[in-house]
A and B are shown apart, each in its own frame.
Chain A
Amino acid sequence: MSHLIIAPILLPIFTALLIMLPPIHYSPMRRRWVSMISTVILLILTVCLLWQTQAEGISFYALGAWQPPFGIILVADIFSVSMVCLTSVLALGAICYGSAGEDERGSFFHPLFQFQLMGINGAFLTGDLFNLFVFFEVLLIASYGLLVHAGGKNKTKAAVHYVVLNLAGSAVFLFSLGILYGTLGTLNIADMAVQVAQLPAENLMLVKSGGLLLLIVFALKAAILPLQFWLPATYSAASPPVAALFAVMTKIGIYALLRVYTTIFGEQAGPLAGMASDWLWPFGLATIMLGAIGVLASQDFRKLVANLVIISVGTLVTLVALQNSAATSAVLFYTVHSTLVCGALFLLADLIGAQRGKAGDRLVPGRRMAQPALLGTMFVAAAVAVAGLPPLSGFVGKLMILQAASSPLQQVLLWSVVLVSSLMVLIGLSRAGSILFWRVSGNEAGPERVLPLQAFALGWLLLAAPLMVVFAGPLTELSFAAAEQMRDIQGSIAIILGDAAPVGEQP
């Protein structure tokens, strides 16, 4: 049993504790360096873990060596480890950006950031639904703290909504866990898949209602149509590095949807197979359209980026509803692309806002920017990537999405919605770009300049867009392998439960 699996959870928590100790806590520079170095180590560890998982297949880590399904386990498969890798890449960019000065505008930025990383990594790696709840709460309570970082009216107002909504969501999560444990007698995801397959008919409706309650919870976390109203306000109020990290938080909801409705209520689940797809498909498509309209209607650049996040969520949910391997592999590729580019756009919005003085990032004519060439190049690169134009990564992602639809009806709906929304994104971004960069009033540029660390952070995240095209071959192979592995439910059950599979026939 390799201990590497638990490292992405232990490293951030120990870093957070270390940063709060006096010798480091009292020096801003030491806090920054410890946080940055730890995130680099995290990145190296997760890449090692990905490499190991790719070579050796699914592995699991039983805490306290309790045999599953009785103990708590962490499961590393290609999909979950890729998501952890993505988190550490994004976190490195966000921490570098935060260390350029944003972290000193409030207290405990770095410890909270590390706690949030611990929660995110744990949520991706856990193989147990109750632990998914616990890690959700860990990442949420850290995000509550980070959201009000640096204070201000807008942040407090957004935080009240965000906290109340998520607490209500947690209550629904626990209700559904209670129903599922009461009927299936287990909370281990692999064991639940076994139990659902041999479910007695009288429990069918209970399990179905429990499963659909989970859908509500994950829809709230992922921000799918009727439950997405919190997202633009929250993300545009958060301070830039925090908003960049939040770009991965909606993807945790998507990952949980995929995990639960592919593994537990997947093909082997008999009458319950694919029960979420009927709901996810229409709401996913509607979410894309709503996000596209939001992009066109946005009054400032951050709201526009938040609406781009909603479009990416809608696209991913629609893919989850398709329930085939091509769609699952597209989910992985598109998640990596959209998370990194949206994170970069949140950072870019702050840099543009800072150089435009009073006008900020509102889409109104403002004073001349000090470094229009640098910021303009970055803006064009990010816009081309996020709108899905060649030659950057969004194009490859969009191609995989369009190829995922199999039946003619699905193709008509998916193609038209995705392509029309891309056009609307393109119009929205061209409008934003031409107002921000070209419609300048005659005033001289201000003294603000992009700091080297900020430029590095932005470049680090944006570099993903060309790199994902250059290495598109290996990356699509990786995402196809991840999809195959995730959809091979019997294989993962055999590895995790081993010979103990028939344990606990009836609850």
Chain B
Amino acid sequence: MESLLAGCIGFLTACGVFLLLRGRTFPVVVGLTMLAYAVNLFLFSSGRLTLQGAAVLGTTETYADPLPQALVLTAIVIGFAMTAYLVILAIRARADLGNDHVDGKLPENESSRKESR
């Protein structure tokens, strides 16, 4: 279970970082979302992985650490709000700057290709 979770987190992080380094705003937003998923899984696992353990004392024999669950909840809410804001900002940038490149202007080769079309 540990290696599966670790692999999942690693794969999500790698995809997230790759997409984050793209030039258009949409892949960047998706990349940040993936990074946020990876972070949430990682935070969750920081309380150690337990099977069938409730976070309340006395209900099960082994119990899960409740604090990471609270941290993940906070991180999810914040990450969700930030992503929503970024989506709106990206749409605004598309309208204000006339393209969806993160630098606000298309690189030379791409803009010339667009003109020749």
A159 close to B (CB within 8 Å): yes
Partner of A181, one of B36, B68, B86: B68
Q: Residue-by-residue, is B74-115 near A (CB-CB < 8 Å gives 1, otherwise 0)?
A: 110011011101100110110011000011100000000000
For B90, the chain A residues whose CB sits under 8 A away are 160
Q: How many angstroms from the CA of A145 to the CA of B85 in the assembled complex? A: 9
Q: Which residues of A contact B39 (CB under 8 A)?
A: 171, 174-175, 178
A74 an interface residue at 8 Å Cβ cutoff?
Answer: no
Partner of B82, one of A141, A159, A178: A141
Q: Is B43 an interface residue (CB 8 A)?
A: yes
Instruction: State whether A156 touches B92 (Cβ < 8 A).
Output: yes
Complex interface: chain A residues within 8 A of B86 (CB):
163-164, 167
Residues of A in contact with B, size category: 20 to 34
The 6 A-B residue pairs whose C-beta atoms are closest, nearest first, are A182-B46, A178-B46, A157-B104, A174-B39, A156-B96, A178-B43
Q: B67 in the interface, Cβ–Cβ < 8 Å? A: yes
B78 touches A134 (CB 8 A): yes
B93, A134: Cβ atoms under 8 Å?
Answer: no
Q: Residues of A contacting B102 with CB < 8 Å?
A: 160-161, 164
Cβ B71 vs Cβ A167 within 8 A: no
Q: Considering the chains assembled together, what is the distance between the CA atoms of A157 and B103 in angstroms? A: 7
Minimum CB distance partner of B25 in chain A: A160
Chain A minimum-CB-distance residue to B75: A174
Q: Is there a chain B Cβ closer than 8 Å to A148's Cβ?
A: yes
Any A CB within 8 A of the CB of B28? yes
Q: In this assembly, does A179 line the interface, its C-beta being within 8 Å of a C-beta of chain B? A: yes
Residues of B within 8 A of A170 (CB): 78-79, 82
* Majority-rule SS of B interface residues: helix
Interface centre among B48, B83, B85, B102 (most CB of A within 10 A): B85
Query: B32 near A167 (CB under 8 angstroms)?
Result: yes
Q: Name the prevailing secondary structure of the A interface residues.
A: helix
- The answer to whether B35 and A171 have CB atoms under 8 Å apart is yes
Listed in ascending order, the chain B residues whose CB lies under 8 Å from chain A are 16, 20, 25, 28, 32, 35-36, 38-39, 42-43, 45-48, 67-68, 71, 74-75, 78-79, 81-83, 85-86, 89-90, 92-93, 96-97, 102-104
Please give, as numbers and ranges, the residues of chain A lying within 8 Å of B97 by CB-CB distance. 153, 156-157
Nearest CB of chain B from residue A133's CB, rounded to whole Å: 8
Inter-subunit contact B42/A178 (CB<8 Å):
yes
What separation, in Å, do the CA atoms of A181 and B28 have in the docked complex? 29
Distance in angstroms from A44 CB to nearest chain B CB is: 32
Q: A148-B92, A157-B93 given. 16 additional CB < 8 A pairs?
A: A134-B78, A137-B78, A148-B89, A152-B96, A153-B97, A153-B104, A156-B97, A160-B104, A164-B86, A167-B82, A170-B78, A170-B82, A171-B16, A171-B36, A175-B42, A181-B67
Known contacts A168-B35, A174-B39; A159/B89 CB under 8 A: yes
The minimal Cβ–Cβ distance linking A166 to chain B, given in whole angstroms, is 8
Known: A156-B97, A174-B43. Is A134-B89 also a contact (CB below 8 A)? no
- Which chain A residues lie closer than 8 Å to B85 at the CB level? 141, 144, 163
Distance in angstroms between the alpha carbons of A168 and B17 in the assembled complex: 9
CA distance A141 to B28 in the complex (A): 18
- Asked if A146 is an interface residue, CB under 8 A from chain B, the answer is no
| A141 adjacent to B32 (CB under 8 Å) | no
Contact A181 B71 (CB under 8 A): yes
- Cα distance, A290 to B92, chains bound together (Å): 33
For the complex, is A130 an interface residue (Cβ under 8 Å from B)? Answer: yes
Residues of A contacting B38 with CB < 8 Å?
171
A-B contact pairs, 29 of them (CB 8 A): A137-B82, A144-B85, A151-B96, A153-B96, A156-B92, A156-B97, A156-B104, A157-B93, A160-B25, A160-B89, A160-B90, A160-B104, A161-B102, A164-B28, A167-B83, A168-B20, A170-B78, A170-B79, A171-B39, A174-B39, A174-B42, A178-B39, A178-B42, A178-B43, A178-B45, A178-B46, A181-B47, A181-B68, A182-B47
A181 touches B46 (CB 8 A): yes
Contacts of B79 in A (CB 8 A): 170
Partner of B89, one of A137, A152, A156, A179: A156
CB distance from A195 to the nearest CB of B (A): 14
Check: A125 CB closer than 8 A to any chain B CB: no
The residue on B at minimum CB distance from A137 is: B78
Is there contact, CB below 8 Å, between A163 and B89?
Answer: yes
**Shortest distance between the CB of A160 and any CB in chain B (Å):** 5
A177 within 8 A of B: yes
Interface centre among A148, A157, A174 (most CB of B within 10 A): A174
B17 closest partner in A (C-beta) = A168
Which single residue of chain B is at the shortest CB-CB distance from A166? B82
Question: Which residues of A296-325 are within 8 A (CB) of B?
Answer: none
Minimum CB–CB distance for A192 against chain B, Å: 14
Within 8 A of B (CB), among A114-161: 130, 134, 137, 141, 144, 148, 151-153, 156-157, 159-161
Residue in B42, B68, B103 whose Cβ sees the most chain A Cβ within 10 Å: B42
List A contacts of B92 (CB < 8 A): 148, 156
Most buried by A among B20, B68, B78: B78
CB distance from A186 to the nearest CB of B (A): 9
Which chain A residues numbered 216 to 263 have a C-beta less than 8 Å away from chain B? none
Kindly report which residue of chain B lies nearest to residue A181, judged by CB atoms. B46
Q: Tell me the smallest distance from the CB of B48 to a CB of chain A, in Å.
A: 8
Cβ distance A235 to chain B, nearest Cβ, rounded Å: 17
Provide the residues of chain B in CB contact with A160, threshold 8 Å.
25, 89-90, 93, 102, 104
Report Cα–Cα, A352/B30, bound state, in Å. Answer: 42
A490 to B34, CA, bound (A): 41
Bound complex: CA A175 to CA B36 (Å): 10
